[in-house]
Structure 1
Amino acid sequence: MVKRRTNVLKVHITASKTQDIPLELLLLADPEEAAINQYLDRSIGYTLTIDGEVIGAVLLLPTRPHTLELVNVAVYEAWHGRGYGKQLVLHAIQSARELGYRVMEVGTGNSSLSQLGLYQKCGFRICGIDTDFFVIHYDEPIEENGIPCVDMIRLRLLL
Protein backbone atom coordinates (compact mmCIF):
# COMPACT_ATOMS: atom_id res chain seq x y z
CA MET A 1 0.00 0.00 0.00
CA VAL A 2 1.31 3.43 -0.97
CA LYS A 3 0.79 6.18 1.58
CA ARG A 4 -0.11 9.53 0.15
CA ARG A 5 1.22 12.63 1.70
CA THR A 6 -1.30 15.43 1.85
CA ASN A 7 -0.41 19.03 2.43
CA VAL A 8 -2.58 20.60 5.07
CA LEU A 9 -2.80 24.34 4.64
CA LYS A 10 -2.94 26.44 7.79
CA VAL A 11 -5.76 28.91 7.16
CA HIS A 12 -6.33 31.73 9.65
CA ILE A 13 -8.60 34.77 9.65
CA THR A 14 -7.47 37.48 12.04
CA ALA A 15 -8.18 41.12 12.84
CA SER A 16 -5.74 43.36 11.00
CA LYS A 17 -4.85 47.02 10.85
CA THR A 18 -6.42 48.23 7.63
CA GLN A 19 -3.24 50.08 6.66
CA ASP A 20 -1.37 46.74 6.71
CA ILE A 21 -3.67 45.11 4.15
CA PRO A 22 -1.99 45.16 0.71
CA LEU A 23 -3.53 47.82 -1.54
CA GLU A 24 -3.15 45.59 -4.62
CA LEU A 25 -5.41 43.06 -2.88
CA LEU A 26 -8.12 45.62 -2.07
CA LEU A 27 -7.97 46.93 -5.65
CA LEU A 28 -9.19 43.53 -6.86
CA ALA A 29 -12.58 44.26 -5.28
CA ASP A 30 -12.67 48.03 -5.73
CA PRO A 31 -10.73 49.26 -8.78
CA GLU A 32 -10.29 52.89 -7.66
CA GLU A 33 -7.71 53.73 -5.02
CA ALA A 34 -9.49 57.01 -4.22
CA ALA A 35 -12.66 55.08 -3.34
CA ILE A 36 -10.70 52.72 -1.07
CA ASN A 37 -9.02 55.65 0.67
CA GLN A 38 -12.45 57.08 1.55
CA TYR A 39 -13.30 54.10 3.78
CA LEU A 40 -9.99 52.43 4.65
CA ASP A 41 -9.14 54.32 7.86
CA ARG A 42 -12.71 54.05 9.20
CA SER A 43 -13.04 50.31 8.56
CA ILE A 44 -12.57 47.17 10.62
CA GLY A 45 -10.23 44.80 8.78
CA TYR A 46 -9.65 41.06 8.73
CA THR A 47 -7.12 39.12 6.69
CA LEU A 48 -7.13 35.50 5.62
CA THR A 49 -3.68 33.96 5.64
CA ILE A 50 -2.47 30.59 4.43
CA ASP A 51 0.77 29.41 5.97
CA GLY A 52 1.44 33.03 7.01
CA GLU A 53 0.81 34.59 3.58
CA VAL A 54 -2.06 37.07 3.17
CA ILE A 55 -4.33 35.84 0.37
CA GLY A 56 -7.59 37.60 1.21
CA ALA A 57 -9.17 40.43 3.19
CA VAL A 58 -12.50 41.87 4.21
CA LEU A 59 -13.30 45.41 5.37
CA LEU A 60 -16.35 46.37 7.44
CA LEU A 61 -17.45 49.99 7.75
CA PRO A 62 -19.76 51.17 10.55
CA THR A 63 -22.36 53.31 8.74
CA ARG A 64 -25.23 53.84 11.20
CA PRO A 65 -25.99 52.72 14.74
CA HIS A 66 -26.03 48.91 14.82
CA THR A 67 -25.19 48.72 11.07
CA LEU A 68 -22.02 47.67 9.27
CA GLU A 69 -21.36 47.72 5.55
CA LEU A 70 -19.16 45.06 3.99
CA VAL A 71 -17.19 47.45 1.77
CA ASN A 72 -14.42 45.22 0.41
CA VAL A 73 -14.01 41.45 0.09
CA ALA A 74 -10.96 40.41 -1.90
CA VAL A 75 -9.03 37.20 -2.56
CA TYR A 76 -5.99 37.00 -4.83
CA GLU A 77 -6.99 35.46 -8.15
CA ALA A 78 -4.67 32.46 -7.76
CA TRP A 79 -6.81 31.43 -4.76
CA HIS A 80 -10.25 31.92 -6.35
CA GLY A 81 -12.74 29.07 -6.41
CA ARG A 82 -11.64 27.49 -3.13
CA GLY A 83 -14.21 29.00 -0.79
CA TYR A 84 -11.95 31.61 0.81
CA GLY A 85 -14.23 34.51 -0.13
CA LYS A 86 -17.13 32.73 1.54
CA GLN A 87 -15.01 32.10 4.64
CA LEU A 88 -14.23 35.82 4.82
CA VAL A 89 -17.89 36.81 4.47
CA LEU A 90 -19.02 34.28 7.09
CA HIS A 91 -16.27 35.46 9.45
CA ALA A 92 -17.37 39.06 8.92
CA ILE A 93 -20.97 38.11 9.75
CA GLN A 94 -19.94 36.30 12.94
CA SER A 95 -17.64 39.15 14.00
CA ALA A 96 -20.41 41.69 13.44
CA ARG A 97 -22.74 39.67 15.66
CA GLU A 98 -20.08 39.41 18.37
CA LEU A 99 -19.54 43.18 18.21
CA GLY A 100 -23.26 43.77 18.77
CA TYR A 101 -24.28 44.90 15.29
CA ARG A 102 -27.79 44.05 14.09
CA VAL A 103 -27.60 44.69 10.34
CA MET A 104 -24.96 44.09 7.68
CA GLU A 105 -25.23 45.64 4.25
CA VAL A 106 -23.24 45.18 1.07
CA GLY A 107 -23.30 46.69 -2.40
CA THR A 108 -21.93 45.08 -5.53
CA GLY A 109 -22.06 45.70 -9.24
CA ASN A 110 -24.89 44.47 -11.42
CA SER A 111 -22.23 42.61 -13.43
CA SER A 112 -20.65 40.90 -10.40
CA LEU A 113 -22.48 37.62 -10.88
CA SER A 114 -20.40 35.40 -8.60
CA GLN A 115 -20.44 38.00 -5.81
CA LEU A 116 -24.23 38.32 -6.04
CA GLY A 117 -24.49 34.55 -5.70
CA LEU A 118 -22.03 34.44 -2.80
CA TYR A 119 -23.82 37.09 -0.76
CA GLN A 120 -27.21 35.46 -1.25
CA LYS A 121 -25.80 32.04 -0.29
CA CYS A 122 -24.56 33.69 2.92
CA GLY A 123 -28.08 34.93 3.72
CA PHE A 124 -28.13 38.45 2.25
CA ARG A 125 -31.26 39.60 0.43
CA ILE A 126 -31.53 42.22 -2.30
CA CYS A 127 -33.00 45.41 -0.87
CA GLY A 128 -32.37 48.04 -3.54
CA ILE A 129 -30.53 49.34 -6.58
CA ASP A 130 -28.39 52.48 -6.78
CA THR A 131 -28.96 53.31 -10.44
CA ASP A 132 -25.87 54.54 -12.34
CA PHE A 133 -23.71 54.35 -9.18
CA PHE A 134 -20.56 53.21 -11.00
CA VAL A 135 -21.05 55.66 -13.88
CA ILE A 136 -21.33 58.57 -11.43
CA HIS A 137 -18.65 57.59 -8.89
CA TYR A 138 -15.92 55.92 -10.97
CA ASP A 139 -13.72 57.60 -13.58
CA GLU A 140 -13.15 54.54 -15.76
CA PRO A 141 -15.86 52.22 -17.12
CA ILE A 142 -16.02 48.79 -15.49
CA GLU A 143 -16.98 45.58 -17.27
CA GLU A 144 -17.30 42.09 -15.79
CA ASN A 145 -18.52 38.90 -17.42
CA GLY A 146 -19.07 40.84 -20.65
CA ILE A 147 -21.59 43.09 -18.85
CA PRO A 148 -21.11 46.84 -18.26
CA CYS A 149 -21.08 47.55 -14.52
CA VAL A 150 -23.33 50.57 -14.07
CA ASP A 151 -25.71 49.93 -11.15
CA MET A 152 -24.98 48.94 -7.55
CA ILE A 153 -27.14 46.12 -6.23
CA ARG A 154 -27.71 46.63 -2.49
CA LEU A 155 -28.14 43.60 -0.20
CA ARG A 156 -28.92 43.37 3.52
CA LEU A 157 -28.63 40.72 6.22
CA LEU A 158 -30.37 40.98 9.58
CA LEU A 159 -27.93 39.68 12.17
Structure 2
Amino acid sequence: MNIRKLGMYEELPIGLLLEADPSEQLVRDYCTGGHCFIAEWQETVVGVFVLTALDSETVEIKNIALAERERGKGLGKRLVFLALEEAKKLGFSAVEIGTGNSSLAQLALYQKCGFRMKSIDRDFFIRHYEEPIFENGLQCRDMVRLDYRW
Protein backbone atom coordinates (compact mmCIF):
# COMPACT_ATOMS: atom_id res chain seq x y z
CA MET A 1 0.00 0.00 0.00
CA ASN A 2 1.39 3.36 -1.04
CA ILE A 3 0.47 6.50 0.94
CA ARG A 4 0.75 9.93 -0.58
CA LYS A 5 -0.60 13.40 -0.06
CA LEU A 6 -3.38 14.21 -2.49
CA GLY A 7 -2.21 16.70 -5.09
CA MET A 8 -3.61 20.22 -5.05
CA TYR A 9 -5.54 19.72 -8.28
CA GLU A 10 -6.52 16.09 -7.75
CA GLU A 11 -10.14 15.28 -7.08
CA LEU A 12 -11.08 14.27 -3.54
CA PRO A 13 -12.09 10.62 -3.13
CA ILE A 14 -15.45 11.95 -1.97
CA GLY A 15 -17.27 8.61 -2.03
CA LEU A 16 -14.76 7.10 0.37
CA LEU A 17 -14.71 10.19 2.60
CA LEU A 18 -18.52 10.14 2.83
CA GLU A 19 -18.39 6.60 4.22
CA ALA A 20 -16.82 8.05 7.38
CA ASP A 21 -18.77 11.34 7.42
CA PRO A 22 -22.18 11.67 5.73
CA SER A 23 -22.03 15.48 5.34
CA GLU A 24 -20.47 16.39 1.99
CA GLN A 25 -20.31 20.05 2.97
CA LEU A 26 -18.41 19.35 6.20
CA VAL A 27 -16.07 16.95 4.37
CA ARG A 28 -15.26 19.51 1.68
CA ASP A 29 -14.76 22.25 4.30
CA TYR A 30 -12.23 20.36 6.43
CA CYS A 31 -10.45 18.91 3.39
CA THR A 32 -9.88 22.46 2.14
CA GLY A 33 -8.03 23.40 5.33
CA GLY A 34 -6.36 20.06 5.97
CA HIS A 35 -3.89 17.57 4.57
CA CYS A 36 -5.62 14.80 2.62
CA PHE A 37 -3.67 11.56 2.18
CA ILE A 38 -4.69 8.63 0.02
CA ALA A 39 -3.70 4.98 0.28
CA GLU A 40 -3.31 3.30 -3.09
CA TRP A 41 -3.00 -0.33 -4.05
CA GLN A 42 -2.21 -1.11 -7.68
CA GLU A 43 -3.17 2.46 -8.70
CA THR A 44 -6.58 2.23 -7.00
CA VAL A 45 -7.49 4.40 -4.00
CA VAL A 46 -8.35 2.02 -1.16
CA GLY A 47 -8.06 4.37 1.82
CA VAL A 48 -8.00 7.99 2.84
CA PHE A 49 -7.34 10.13 5.89
CA VAL A 50 -7.44 13.87 6.51
CA LEU A 51 -5.28 15.66 9.08
CA THR A 52 -6.26 19.13 10.30
CA ALA A 53 -4.25 21.20 12.75
CA LEU A 54 -6.01 22.11 15.98
CA ASP A 55 -3.05 24.16 17.21
CA SER A 56 0.73 24.17 16.76
CA GLU A 57 1.17 20.89 18.67
CA THR A 58 -2.01 18.93 17.98
CA VAL A 59 -3.50 17.60 14.77
CA GLU A 60 -6.82 15.81 14.35
CA ILE A 61 -7.50 12.83 12.14
CA LYS A 62 -10.67 14.41 10.85
CA ASN A 63 -11.66 11.57 8.54
CA ILE A 64 -10.29 8.09 7.98
CA ALA A 65 -11.89 5.52 5.70
CA LEU A 66 -11.07 2.26 4.00
CA ALA A 67 -12.82 0.83 0.94
CA GLU A 68 -15.37 -1.77 2.03
CA ARG A 69 -13.70 -4.56 0.04
CA GLU A 70 -10.45 -3.95 1.98
CA ARG A 71 -11.95 -4.11 5.46
CA GLY A 72 -11.27 -7.01 7.79
CA LYS A 73 -7.70 -7.48 6.54
CA GLY A 74 -5.89 -5.40 9.17
CA LEU A 75 -5.51 -2.45 6.80
CA GLY A 76 -7.58 -0.12 8.99
CA LYS A 77 -5.05 -0.44 11.79
CA ARG A 78 -2.23 0.07 9.30
CA LEU A 79 -3.96 3.21 7.98
CA VAL A 80 -4.26 4.62 11.52
CA PHE A 81 -0.53 4.02 12.12
CA LEU A 82 0.30 5.65 8.78
CA ALA A 83 -1.76 8.69 9.79
CA LEU A 84 0.21 8.86 13.06
CA GLU A 85 3.49 8.68 11.11
CA GLU A 86 2.41 11.51 8.81
CA ALA A 87 1.32 13.62 11.79
CA LYS A 88 4.74 13.12 13.38
CA LYS A 89 6.49 14.03 10.10
CA LEU A 90 4.45 17.24 10.02
CA GLY A 91 5.86 18.11 13.46
CA PHE A 92 2.87 17.46 15.72
CA SER A 93 3.32 15.95 19.18
CA ALA A 94 -0.30 14.88 19.71
CA VAL A 95 -3.07 13.48 17.55
CA GLU A 96 -6.78 13.56 18.31
CA ILE A 97 -9.58 11.59 16.71
CA GLY A 98 -13.32 11.67 17.25
CA THR A 99 -15.96 9.10 16.50
CA GLY A 100 -19.59 8.49 17.29
CA ASN A 101 -20.81 6.75 20.42
CA SER A 102 -22.34 4.12 18.10
CA SER A 103 -19.07 3.42 16.21
CA LEU A 104 -18.12 0.42 18.33
CA ALA A 105 -15.55 -1.10 15.96
CA GLN A 106 -13.80 2.26 15.49
CA LEU A 107 -13.66 2.88 19.24
CA ALA A 108 -11.99 -0.51 19.71
CA LEU A 109 -9.59 0.04 16.79
CA TYR A 110 -8.39 3.44 17.98
CA GLN A 111 -7.73 2.13 21.48
CA LYS A 112 -5.83 -0.87 20.08
CA CYS A 113 -3.67 1.66 18.20
CA GLY A 114 -2.77 3.45 21.45
CA PHE A 115 -5.38 6.22 21.60
CA ARG A 116 -6.85 7.08 25.01
CA MET A 117 -10.27 8.48 25.85
CA LYS A 118 -10.18 12.24 26.24
CA SER A 119 -13.71 13.66 26.31
CA ILE A 120 -17.29 13.37 25.12
CA ASP A 121 -19.06 16.13 23.18
CA ARG A 122 -22.67 15.39 24.09
CA ASP A 123 -25.21 15.69 21.25
CA PHE A 124 -22.52 16.64 18.71
CA PHE A 125 -24.21 14.68 15.92
CA ILE A 126 -27.63 16.10 16.80
CA ARG A 127 -26.26 19.67 16.55
CA HIS A 128 -24.18 19.21 13.37
CA TYR A 129 -26.15 16.81 11.18
CA GLU A 130 -29.65 17.36 9.83
CA GLU A 131 -30.51 13.67 9.50
CA PRO A 132 -30.22 11.22 12.40
CA ILE A 133 -27.40 8.67 12.08
CA PHE A 134 -27.92 5.08 13.22
CA GLU A 135 -25.21 2.47 13.51
CA ASN A 136 -25.05 -0.88 15.30
CA GLY A 137 -28.66 -0.43 16.40
CA LEU A 138 -27.82 2.82 18.24
CA GLN A 139 -28.44 6.46 17.41
CA CYS A 140 -25.18 8.31 16.94
CA ARG A 141 -25.56 11.28 19.25
CA ASP A 142 -22.28 11.95 21.06
CA MET A 143 -18.75 12.52 19.73
CA VAL A 144 -16.22 10.44 21.67
CA ARG A 145 -12.82 12.12 21.50
CA LEU A 146 -9.56 10.21 21.93
CA ASP A 147 -5.94 11.29 21.78
CA TYR A 148 -2.49 9.86 21.16
CA ARG A 149 0.71 11.42 22.46
CA TRP A 150 4.37 10.66 21.82
Q: Structure 1: how far apart are the matches of 2:4 and 2:30?
A: 19
Alignment equivalent of 2:98, drawn from 107, 113, 119: 107
Give me the identity figure in percent: 43
In structure 2, the partner of 1:137 is 128
- 138-147 or 84-93, larger mean C-alpha shift: 84-93
* TM-score, normalisation: structure 2: 0.94
Q: Structure 1: how far apart are the matches of 2:29 and 2:97?
A: 16
- Confirm or deny that 1:40 pairs with 2:48: no
One-letter code of the match for 2:59?
L
Q: Deviations 1:12-68 (Å, cap 9, x if unpaired)?
A: 112223753311110000011111122011111211111110011010001111110
In structure 2, the partner of 1:127 is 118
Q: Deviations 1:60-90 (Å, cap 9, x if unpaired)?
A: 0011111100000011111111122211110
One-letter code of the match for 1:32?
S
Q: Structure 1: how far apart are the matches of 2:77 and 2:6?
A: 18
Q: 1:91 offset after TM fit, Å?
A: 0.7
| Contact 1:48/1:56, CA 8 A, preserved across alignment | yes
In structure 2, the partner of 1:17 is 7
- 37-46 or 14-23, larger mean C-alpha shift: 14-23
Q: Structure 2: how far apart are the matches of 1:80 and 1:114?
A: 11
One-letter code of the match for 2:129?
Y
* Equivalence map 1:13-92=2 (5 Å): 13-17=3-7, 20-92=11-83
- 108-117 or 35-44, larger mean C-alpha shift: 35-44
Runs of 4+ in 1 over 4 A off after TM superposition: none
Secondary structure of the equivalent of 1:111? coil
Which structure would you say has the larger Rg?
Answer: 1
CA RMSD in angstroms, aligned pairs only: 1.2
**Matched residue count:** 149
Q: Structure 1: how far apart are the matches of 2:2 and 2:58?
A: 25
* TM-score, normalisation: structure 1: 0.89
Q: Structure 2: how far apart are the matches of 1:67 and 1:21?
A: 24
| Contact 1:15/1:46, CA 8 A, preserved across alignment | yes
Secondary structure of the equivalent of 2:54? strand
Secondary structure of the equivalent of 1:20? coil
One-letter code of the match for 1:73?
I
